[in-house]
Structure 1
Amino acid sequence: MKHSIIPRLELEAFAADGYKTSVLNVEHYPLSSKHFVIENRNNYPVKDYISPHRRKFYKIFHMTAGTGILTIGLNRYEMGPDEIAFLHPDELMSWQTTSEETGGHFCLIHPDYFGQDADHVLQLFRQYPYFIPDRAVVQLTAGQSAAINGYFEIMLKEERGNSDDKKQAILLQLQMLLLESRRAGKSKLQSAVSEGYGYIYRFLSLLESSFQVQEHNSIAKLKTAAEFADELHVHPNYLNALVRNHTGKTLREHIQDRLLHEAKSLLVQTDWGINQISDGLGFSGQAAFTSFFRKKANLSPSEFRKATV
């Protein structure tokens, strides 16, 4: 197959043209996250970050003040007050704050939160028309925005309370929120991402797809930095400089960080033996896995597992 032509810019020229944004940290949701999280954006600092695939959470956030740039997949939105965004668990997203002012709420919902008694609400989420990258942001009228802000306030109060039926109250507000947003029906126009961000998106997507360790006999398909660059039809130095300048880390560091995150996930979320996890992650043996883990996490895999039980 003939490779597409990739621009070969001098790094100085490329930096002057392409690095006009702050560094975006690649962040994974904490392994200990509750199945339902809700926060007020006034009280919760919003960082500039990229969140890779497999967040496992639906995310909804509503803005009442401030501005920022939301990227979902390869779709870029300049968001402001009276807008609401819907993020599917499978989509890579990033956020950049462009104002000091902030206001609104966000919530994270794990599919397991619904349970069998609220499977109908989960189906609403799965079929909802705005959990897709090119329709993910909805513009609201002032009245609709006020109503949705009220739903968030009630959910926040219920989540912080001790009522036996607080889950039912939260689910009712979520359904009202989805209904109000659907009535608004005005998807915000998106623009294309920069070429540089496109490469970062594709690299992180390929990196994430390497970690599908779901059964004992699954083995992560680890690649080197050069192999990722080759798959993207770009020179390794070009890709490494691009990723490092946008995220503050090299390709190798991202690969190792993602490997460590997967190791921690398997230690926390499965009962697999250390040797099974080592094999699944492609290490030559348990000793090599333990050495890697201890170097990166400052404790052994067994010690980490005991500390998180």
Structure 2
Amino acid sequence: MKSTETLEDFYRVKFGINYEGINADLGHFNVFKMEDCSGPGKPPVQYSRRDFYKIALLRGTHLYHYGDKTLQVSGSTLIFFNPQIPYTFQPLTETQEGYFCIFKDAFFTGHLRSGIKDLPMYAPGCKPAYVLNSEQDEAFARIFDKMVEEMQSDYVFKSDLIRTYIMEIIHGALKLQPSETLYKHTDANARIAAVFTELLERQFPIESRSQHFQLRSAKDFAEKLNLHPNHLNRAIKAVTGKTTTSHIAERVVTEAIALLKHTDWNISEISFTLGFEQPAHFTNFFKRQTSLTPSAFRV
């Protein structure tokens, strides 16, 4: 598994363009028709993380691999790809149709009160795929067509207009599937749970063998948050119905599954990155969570 695909990698692999220095262009944006980038003779989409955001309107049937999850989507689907989560999609139909756009977080710097990463479809644990009916497909396709047209124009304020089109897509999606993350945290327990989740997610994804998962227990998180472990546990339980330990274990096993499925790292290397002192401890933990050993899961 390649750790992260950069914009330079994208243009070199997809179009054979040696676009040196593009990663320094923090405000980069581009939009494409799917048929120009997929199909016979075009390289498949590799499973990896990217250093840029992507929004895609996919038509047809695809297997969609996102983190540790694999979904089959059919028809027209709008998908928001987060650079923090590795992904790929495998077409199951011969013809590739649709659109996608790519952009860096800095494309919105100074234009949103908070960053693009704080939007609900990019939040940890979100559901980033929106199945569309024919009318919705047409509406989103018109927006992508406007972006394609604008990219070919010499309008001096086209970046501002394109940002408006992206936000139109985002808000159109939110209307289809409202997200609970839109609601503000209403009490102290909810705020504690939100900060705990942020600290937990900040340690992922694991991208190299040298990474090491640090905050592994409720006590570790409580110390970081300047709370008593019992206070933290009560808050997490009240908000989510699960213990702090359960949340940590579920997130660790999710990352373990992703590493076992999509890297060639050996069990010792994976156990080290996930904070286990001995591979045997990791094996016992993984078996408790999944009823399989890591080696048996990989077979």
TM normalised by structure 2 equals 0.53
Distance 1:66 1:225 in 2: 36
Paired position in structure 2 for 1:181: 173
1:51 aligns with 2:85: no
Residue 28 and residue 240 in structure 1: after superposition, are their counterparts in 2 closer, same or farther (change >3 A)?
farther
CA–CA distance in 1 between the matches of 2:127 and 2:270?
31
CA RMSD, Structure 1 to Structure 2 (Å): 3.4
CA change 1:177–1:30 in 2 (3 A) is closer
Q: Are 1:48 and 1:97, in contact at CA under 8 Å, matched by a contact in 2?
A: no
Distance in 1 between residues matched to 2:175 and 2:169, nearest whole Å = 10
1:241, 1:30 → 2: CA distance?
Answer: 37
Q: 1:178 to 1:205 in 2, by over 3 A?
A: closer
What SS is found at the alignment partner of 1:95?
A: strand
Distance 2:132 2:167 in 1: 17
For structure 1, which runs of at least 5 residues remain unmatched after alignment?
1-23, 188-203, 213-223, 246-309
Q: How far 1:158 sits from its partner (Å)?
A: 1.0
Structure 1's 154 and 68: CA in aligned 2 closer, same or farther, altered over 3 A? same
Instruction: Summarize the alignment of residues 123-272 of structure 1 with structure 2, pairs less than 5 Å apart.
Output: 123=115, 125-132=116-123, 133-185=125-177, 205-208=205-208, 210=210, 225=266, 227-231=268-272, 233=282
Residue 131 of structure 1, CA deviation: 2.0
> Could you tell me how far 1:61 is from its partner in structure 2?
0.5
Q: Deviations over 1:245-283 (max 9, x none)?
A: 9xxxxxxxxxxxxxxxxxxxxxxxxxxxxxxxxxxxxxx
Q: How far has the Cα of 1:170 moved from its partner? A: 0.3
Aligned with 2:31 (options 33, 38, 60) = 38
Aligned length: 186
Q: How many angstroms apart in 2 are the aligned matches of 1:186 and 1:51?
A: 28
The letter of the residue matching 1:59 is: K
Q: What is the TM-score normalised by the length of structure 1? A: 0.51
* TM superposition shift of 1:86: 0.9
Query: What is the letter of the counterpart of residue 166 of structure 1?
Result: K
Which residue number corresponds to residue 235 of structure 2? none
Q: Identity across aligned pairs (percent)?
A: 17
Change (3 A) 1:227 1:207: farther
Q: Which runs of 5+ in 2 are unaligned?
A: 9-21, 180-203, 213-264, 275-281, 284-292
Which structure's relative contact order is higher, taking Cα pairs within 8 Å and 6+ residues apart? 1
